[in-house]
Chains A and B, each alone.
Chain A
């Protein structure tokens, strides 16, 4: 996916998420829509384009967190690189495999966020969000199932436009 399309998509998804989470009355659990995008980038984008997109997606998540520290920008790029590494070892084909792949990425993303939070705060408050992680991973899996066809369609449209441009 192109860089700008990824950024716009991330902005729209984060905005939607912030309203839906509020309406659903979720306390600790969130829907990690950015991890869905990062997992998709890891499967489809080149290293440089994917890393730049992951940086931008992480930056947006950082910004929307209310207290931007750079943590989620770092985690965005790191998760993208880790997903690429895992993808070189396992076969991810079809929506179900993508959902499992995304859920695995979300577990890593959530645990790393808690760990780095603990590094700076050094009290129980950083790990207080961990009880919400299982529901968060499940919700992110559901979001991946819904978003997978949409992301494929956007990608196919971009490829067609590129081919049309070349012809």
Chain B
């Protein structure tokens, strides 16, 4: 028996190296595994290197940009002054609207959902496999980021946290083909689903043909998917297709955030968060 093993030792070892991951893949499928000790060690080694590389590139780009910016600074100042005046006027008008909104909410005894934590993070790299479009950010368990939390920018939603380790987390982007987001049309409140398609716009799905949707409508999160808080901007409707037959209408949603040019993001605590450990006050 031992001599047989010795004779076929190489063949057996190579077979195990080939078949073990295949069986693991076929059994676990698309779920993936939680990070183990080796995973955490590798991420702890590579992620700071990613941050350092980004820092070095930013430094070089910053020096070049500063020089270029200085050349057109006067014209830009004039334009910004004008824009500032317009924005101040708009803010005054919005202040009035907010005060009025507050009064109306009080009248309706509207219970505003408690906003979760907003954790800032920097994008340090993208994952090197296009099977799952995801980025790595510079905040993790230590900063209070947990799997399932949503990631946004001031422009709109970015994606969902899929894995966290010490000081870093991986975020699956909304453009990933496996991504589905519960959405509604801001104007008409019609509900549907925004599905990622890899490259290009998201696809608007499950929107009933009778619903009121038009090209250019703003699409926001509905909060029904248990991941994204309601009211976050997703994008705008384009290429609306109202077919003669069938239950649903189809359209593209041009994402509000360009996920290929992400730099800083915010991780938002979702009220539906289940992966975070129980802490005092939430029991």
Interface residues in chain A, defined as those with a beta carbon under 8 Å from any beta carbon in chain B = 11-12, 14-19, 21-23, 25-31, 33-34, 47-48, 51-52, 54-55, 58-74, 77-78, 81, 113, 116-117, 120-121, 124-126, 128-129, 131-132, 136
Tell me, yes or no, whether B32 is within 8 Å of chain A by CB: yes
Which residues of B, 1-33, contact A by the 8 Å Cβ criterion?
10, 13-14, 17-18, 20-26, 28-33
| Complex CA–CA separation, A17 to B261 (angstroms) | 16
Q: Is the CB of A11 within 8 A of B45?
A: yes
Minimal Cβ-Cβ distance residue in A for B258: A25
Instruction: Give the size of the chain B interface in residues (CB under 8 angstroms).
Output: 57
A113: chain B residues at CB < 8 Å are: 129, 131
| Complex CA–CA separation, A131 to B131 (angstroms) | 12
The count of A-to-B residue pairs whose CB atoms sit within 8 angstroms is 172
Q: Is the CB of B130 within 8 A of A136?
A: yes
Q: Is the CB of A18 within 8 A of B50?
A: yes
B163: chain A residues at CB < 8 Å are: 66-67
A11: chain B residues at CB < 8 Å are: 42, 45-46
A131: chain B residues at CB < 8 Å are: 198-199
B158-198 vs A, Cβ < 8 Å mask (1 yes, 0 no): 00001100000010100111100000000000000000111
Q: Is the CB of B198 within 8 A of A64?
A: no
Minimal Cβ-Cβ distance residue in A for B177: A125
Q: Is the CB of B29 within 8 A of A128?
A: no
Distance of A159 from chain B, by nearest CB (Å): 22
Q: By CB atoms of chain A within 10 A, which of B128, B129, B134, B175 has the most?
A: B128
B23, B33, B57: the one contacting A68 at CB < 8 Å is B33
A129: chain B residues at CB < 8 Å are: 130-131, 177, 198
Minimal Cβ-Cβ distance residue in A for B169: A66
B25, B43, B57, B260: the one contacting A19 at CB < 8 Å is B57
Q: Is the CB of B128 within 8 A of A51?
A: no
| Complex CA–CA separation, A62 to B24 (angstroms) | 12
B198: chain A residues at CB < 8 Å are: 27-28, 125, 128-129, 131-132
Q: By CB atoms of chain A within 10 A, which of B32, B130, B262 has the most?
A: B130
Minimal Cβ-Cβ distance residue in A for B125: A18
Describe B's contact surface by its main secondary structure. mixed
Tell me, yes or no, whether B124 is within 8 Å of chain A by CB: yes
Q: Is the CB of B21 within 8 A of A33?
A: no
Distance of A164 from chain B, by nearest CB (Å): 28
B28: chain A residues at CB < 8 Å are: 69-70
A73: chain B residues at CB < 8 Å are: 21, 24
Distance of A84 from chain B, by nearest CB (Å): 10
Given contacts A15-B125, A77-B18, A128-B198, whether A69 and B57 have CB atoms under 8 Å apart is no
Distance of A33 from chain B, by nearest CB (Å): 7
A22: chain B residues at CB < 8 Å are: 123, 125-126, 135, 262
Q: Is the CB of B13 within 8 A of A15?
A: no
Tell me, yes or no, whether B97 is within 8 Å of chain A by CB: no
A60: chain B residues at CB < 8 Å are: 42
B89: chain A residues at CB < 8 Å are: none
Q: Is the CB of B14 within 8 A of A65?
A: no
Given contacts A51-B17, A66-B170, whether A72 and B129 have CB atoms under 8 Å apart is yes
